Chains A and B, each alone.
Chain A
Amino acid sequence: MIPAPSVPVLVLGIGNLLWADEGFGVRAVEALNAGWEMAEGVALLDGGTQGIYLVDRVADCRRLLVFDAVDYGLSPGTLMLARGDEVPRFMGAKTVSLHQTGFQEVLSAAALLGRQPEEILLVGVQPADLDSWGGGLTPVVAAALEPALAAALKQLAAWGYRARPGFGRPALLGHGLARSDYERSPA
C-alpha cells in the first residue's frame, strides 16, 4: 500500500551555501521566503547537501520545484528550466556539485518507492565559481536570483498556487548564515 503524497507543492533549494555559487539553490528559497507569502499547500525547504536523506520529502510531494546550481556548460548566470523526465538527466549530465549525484539518486529512489512527484520543475543556474570555500554568490549568479524567482512564481501560479508579495515572516536562515550576514566580510 503506497501512501498518497501529503504535501501538494514542495519548493526545494539544494546546495552548499558555504561554497560560492553552490549556495544558489538555498539562497533562492531564502529569497522566496523573504519576499513572498506562499499559497496554502506550498512548503519551502532548505535541503542543503542532505542528498539521500531528502528522499522522503521528495516522495511525499505531488509537485516539486527544485532550485540548484547546475553545470550545463553555458555562460555563467544563465538560467535553465527543465521539466519532468529531463530533470534527472540534466542533473546527471555533469555532476559538478557535491550533492547532484545524490539528488539524481533521490529522484530514482522515490520512483523505486513508487512515489514520484507528478510534476517536477528544475530551476537551474549555470555557476561561475564552485571553488571558493567561504565565498558568497558571484555577482552574475546573484543577478540570476530575480529571474529564477520569477520563473518559480510563474510555475506556482500555473499550478494554482499563486504567491503574494509579503514580508515579515521569520527568516529561513540565521546564526550568521543569512545571505546578508554571510556575504558581508566578518567583524
Chain B
Amino acid sequence: MTITTPNGFTLDPSGKRVVIDPVTRIEGHLRLEVNVDSANVIRNAVSVGTMWRGLEMILKDRDPRDAWAFTQRICGVCTGTHALTSVRAVEAALGIPIPENANTIRNIMQATLYTHDHLVHFYHLHALDWVDVLSALKADPNATSALARSLSSWPLSSPGYFKDLQLRLTRFVESGQLGPFKNGYWGHPAYKLPPEANLMAVAHYLEALTFQKEIVKIHTVFGGKNPHPNWLVGGVPSAINVDSVGAVGAVNMERLDLVSSIIDRAIEFIEQVYIPDLLAVASFYKDWAQWGGGLAGRNLLCYGDFPEKANDYGADNLAFPRGAIIDGNLNEIHQVSLDDPDQIREFVTHSWYKYPDEGKGLHPYDGITEPNFVLGPATEGKKTDIRRIDEGAKYSYLKAPRWRGHAMEVGPLARWVMGYAQGRPDYKEPTDAVLKKLGVPVGALFSTLGRTAARGLECQWSAHKLKGYFNKLMATLKAGDFATANADKWEPASWPRAARGSGFSEAPRGALGHWVQIADGRIANYQCVVPTTWNGSPRDPQGNIGAYEAALLGTPMADPSRPLEILRTIHSFDPCLACSTHIMGPDGQEKAVVRVL
C-alpha cells in the first residue's frame, strides 16, 4: 500500500520497520523509524522529536533585556546564535538602533561561531560516518604520508608523525576505552576509504580537536568569556580601549592582535586540512551525490544574516542570502518575511501539542505551546517503551513549521543553493570549482554529499568574512569611532507599554527566528522556531513530509541492523534537538537502540 504525499513523495510503510533511538551523537533526542523494501531500500521515514520544549514558558514575565542569556542556555552548540537572534528581536520590538561597530562585532562573533561550529561538525560529529577508525590501525604510515602530501602542503605529514599517531591510537583502542569512537559501525561495508585515508583523517580529527579551542578565544575577547559570552540589547558589551595594556574587560591592541593571528591560522587550517580532506573523502563517496536530497532539490528557505551595514536587515544588505525557492525553480527567489502572518506557520496535527483548531497553522506571534502527549491507535508497545510509533496520529514533540504551506529545508545547503541561484560570485565560483574537481553535475548538490560539501565551503567563506569584518572594525577604530552600544532606550520607562518584534539569524544548521511580545516592560510571549524544527518536522495536516523524512527515502541500506546510511544523511543536517525538544517518558533513560521489526 503506497501513499503519495502532496509534496510529491511516495511512501510505502509495508516493509520491515527499522527503529533508531536516539540518532544524534551529542545533545538531543531524535528517533527515526523507517520501512525498507525487500532490497533494503528505505520507502517510508518517520522523524520523531522525543523531547518537549518549554522555553516559551520559562521566558514569560522575564526582563526582555535578559532573554538572550536564557535562550543562550537552551542549546549547547548554538549558544551565540540564539543570543544574537534574541537581542535582534528585542531591538526590533523596541526600535533600538545599534552602532556600526556593534554590528561589525556581532558579525565577528557570528562568523567565529560558523568557523568553529562547521569545523567541529565535520571532524567530530560527521567524519566518523565516513571514516573507519579501526581500519586506520592497518594503514602504512609511509603511504599515508605520501597521500597527505599529494593533497596538501600542510606540514604535519611525515611518515614518523603518522606512525606515532597510529601507535597512540592502537594503545588507546587496546586499552578498551574506545571513547568518542565507541558507537561506530566499524568494518561496515559502506565504509569505502583505504586505511591510509582513514589514518590521515583520524590525525586531522585530533588536530582539529586541539585547534578548535583557538577559534573560540575570539568569543572571549569580544564577549568577555567563553563558554557563554555576554551580549547586550542595544549593541555589544565589549568596551574598546586601544591604548590600554592588559586591562581587565576592555578590548585592547594586544587582544586585537591575538584575534588577527587566530583568524589567519583558522583560514590556513580550513584551506590546508578541512577542504582537502573534504574533497578526498568525497571522491570515494560519489554515490552519495544521488541519495539524501529530499526537499533540497525542491523547497529551500533562508532568512539571511551578516548585515553589512548596521540596522538594515533587508535582503540586499545581507551577506548570507535570504529567500525561498519552491518546487526547484532556481529562477524565482521568493521574498521572505518573518512578520507576514501568511508566510511562516506552525502546525500540530502530528505533534504532541494542542491548538484550539488543529487544521490551521499559527504564526509565531500567535504561537501556543501546550503539550498534549497522545499516541495513535496503531502504536505498538507501551508509552514508556514504544516499539513502533503511529505516524498517522500525533508522533513528535517538534511542531511542523511551513512556509506558505510548504515543508522546507534550511541550513548550509539551502544557503549555498540560494546564493548560487542568486548568482552571487562568492557562492557560485567555489561551488563550481568543487563540482568540477569531483566531476559531478550541479544536481549533485541536492544530496547528502552536497550538504556536507556546502558546509565545508561555508566554513571557508565565513573564515574569510571574519577577516573582512575584523579589518573593518580596525579601520573604524583607527578613524576614532569607539561606540559599541546605544543606551538611549535601556530603561523600560522609555519603552511603549506594548510592543512586538521578530529577530532572525542563520544558525549553522539553518534559519532561526525569535518572536517577542513585550507588555509593561516584561515578556508577554516568546516563540522560537529553530532550524531543527524545520528540518526534523513531522507531517502536516495535508500529509507533506519534512526534510529528514524526505531525505531518507530511496537510500539503500547494506544492513538495516547497522543503519550507518541513515546516520550519514541525518548527521549531514547537523541536527540539534536540545533546543527543539525536551525529554520524553517518566524514566528519562537514554539508550541507543536499533530494532528491526
Question: Which of A31-39, A130-138, A143-151 lies at the interface with chain B?
Answer: A130-138
Q: How far is the CA of A50 from the CA of B124 in the complex (A)?
A: 14
Q: How far is the CA of A55 from the CA of B120 in the complex (A)?
A: 12
* Range for the number of chain B residues in contact with chain A: 35 or more
Q: Does A175 contact B (CB under 8 A)?
A: yes
Question: Which of B206-214, B265-273, B563-571 lies at the interface with chain A?
Answer: B206-214
Q: Does A157 contact B (CB under 8 A)?
A: no
Chain A residues whose C-beta falls within 8 Å of the C-beta of B172 in the assembled complex: 111-112
Q: Kindly identify, within residues 189 to 222 of chain B, every residue whose CB is under 8 Å from any CB belonging to chain A.
A: 206, 209-210, 212-213, 216
Chain A residues whose C-beta falls within 8 Å of the C-beta of B75 in the assembled complex: 49
Which listed residue, A18, A95, A99, A130, touches B74 by the CB 8 Å rule?
A18
Q: Does B326 contact A (CB under 8 A)?
A: no
Chain B residues whose C-beta falls within 8 Å of the C-beta of A16 in the assembled complex: 73
Q: Kindly identify, within residues 77 to 136 of chain B, every residue whose CB is under 8 Å from any CB belonging to chain A.
A: 77, 79, 120, 124
Chain A residues whose C-beta falls within 8 Å of the C-beta of B66 in the assembled complex: 175-177
Chain B residues whose C-beta falls within 8 Å of the C-beta of A133 in the assembled complex: 52-55, 57-58, 582
Instruction: Check B60–A96 contact: CB distance below 8 A.
Output: no
Chain A residues whose C-beta falls within 8 Å of the C-beta of B61 in the assembled complex: 185-187
Nearest CB of A to B524, in Å: 11
Which listed residue, B27, B73, B168, touches A99 by the CB 8 Å rule?
B27
Please count how many residues in chain A sit with their CB below 8 Å of the partner chain's CB atoms: 43
Q: Does B487 contact A (CB under 8 A)?
A: no
A51-B26, A133-B58, A187-B61 are known contacts. Are A109 and B180 too (CB-CB below 8 A)? yes
Nearest CB of A to B164, in Å: 10
Instruction: Check A131–B590 contact: CB distance below 8 A.
Output: no
Which listed residue, B26, B178, B227, B582, touches A46 by the CB 8 Å rule?
B227
Q: How far is the CA of A113 from the CA of B168 in the complex (A)?
A: 9
Q: Does B583 contact A (CB under 8 A)?
A: yes
Instruction: Check B578–A96 contact: CB distance below 8 A.
Output: no
Nearest CB of B to A126, in Å: 13
Instruction: Check B27–A109 contact: CB distance below 8 A.
Output: no
Q: Kindly identify, within residues 79 to 135 of chain A, every residue whose CB is under 8 Å from any CB belonging to chain B.
A: 88, 94-96, 98-99, 101-102, 104-105, 107-109, 111-114, 130-131, 133-134
Q: How far is the CA of A109 from the CA of B170 in the complex (A)?
A: 14
0/1 string, A156-187, CB within 8 A of B gives 1: 00000000000000000011110000000111
Q: Does A7 contact B (CB under 8 A)?
A: no
Query: Which of A46, A51, A52, A95 is the most central at the interface, judged by chain B CB atoms within 10 Å of its CB?
Result: A52
0/1 string, B25-62, CB within 8 A of A gives 1: 01110000000000000000000000011110110111
A46-B228, A133-B582 are known contacts. Are A111 and B179 too (CB-CB below 8 A)? yes
Q: Kindly identify, within residues 154 to 197 of chain B, every residue whose CB is under 8 Å from any CB belonging to chain A.
A: 168-169, 172, 177-180
Instruction: Check A131–B210 contact: CB distance below 8 A.
Output: no
Q: Does B485 contact A (CB under 8 A)?
A: no
Number of A-B contacts (CB under 8 A): 123
Q: Does A77 contact B (CB under 8 A)?
A: no
Instruction: Check A177–B70 contact: CB distance below 8 A.
Output: yes
Instruction: Check B76–A98 contact: CB distance below 8 A.
Output: yes
Instruction: Check B70–A18 contact: CB distance below 8 A.
Output: yes
Instruction: Check A48–B227 contact: CB distance below 8 A.
Output: yes
Q: Kindly identify, within residues 576 to 597 of chain B, every residue whose CB is under 8 Å from any CB belonging to chain A.
A: 578, 582-583, 588-590
0/1 string, B392-436, CB within 8 A of A gives 1: 000000000000000000000000000000000000000000000
Nearest CB of A to B214, in Å: 9
Chain B residues whose C-beta falls within 8 Å of the C-beta of A71 in the assembled complex: 588
Minimal Cβ-Cβ distance residue in A for B587: A96
Instruction: Check B589–A94 contact: CB distance below 8 A.
Output: yes
Nearest CB of A to B508, in Å: 13
Q: How far is the CA of A18 from the CA of B210 in the complex (A)?
A: 30
Q: Does B63 contact A (CB under 8 A)?
A: yes
Q: Does B534 contact A (CB under 8 A)?
A: no
9 of the cross-chain contacts (CB-CB < 8 Å) are: A16-B73, A18-B74, A48-B73, A56-B210, A98-B578, A108-B177, A133-B58, A177-B66, A185-B61
Beyond the given A53-B76, A53-B77, A176-B69, please list 17 additional residue pairs across the A-B interface where CB-CB is below 8 A. Answer: A18-B55, A48-B73, A53-B227, A56-B210, A71-B588, A96-B588, A98-B76, A98-B578, A105-B179, A112-B168, A113-B206, A130-B583, A131-B582, A133-B55, A175-B65, A175-B66, A186-B522
Which chain B residues have a beta carbon within 8 Å of chain A's beta carbons? 26-28, 52-55, 57-58, 60-63, 65-66, 68-70, 73-77, 79, 120, 124, 168-169, 172, 177-180, 206, 209-210, 212-213, 216, 227-228, 230, 522, 578, 582-583, 588-590
Which chain A residues have a beta carbon within 8 Å of chain B's beta carbons? 16-18, 46-56, 71, 88, 94-96, 98-99, 101-102, 104-105, 107-109, 111-114, 130-131, 133-134, 174-177, 185-187
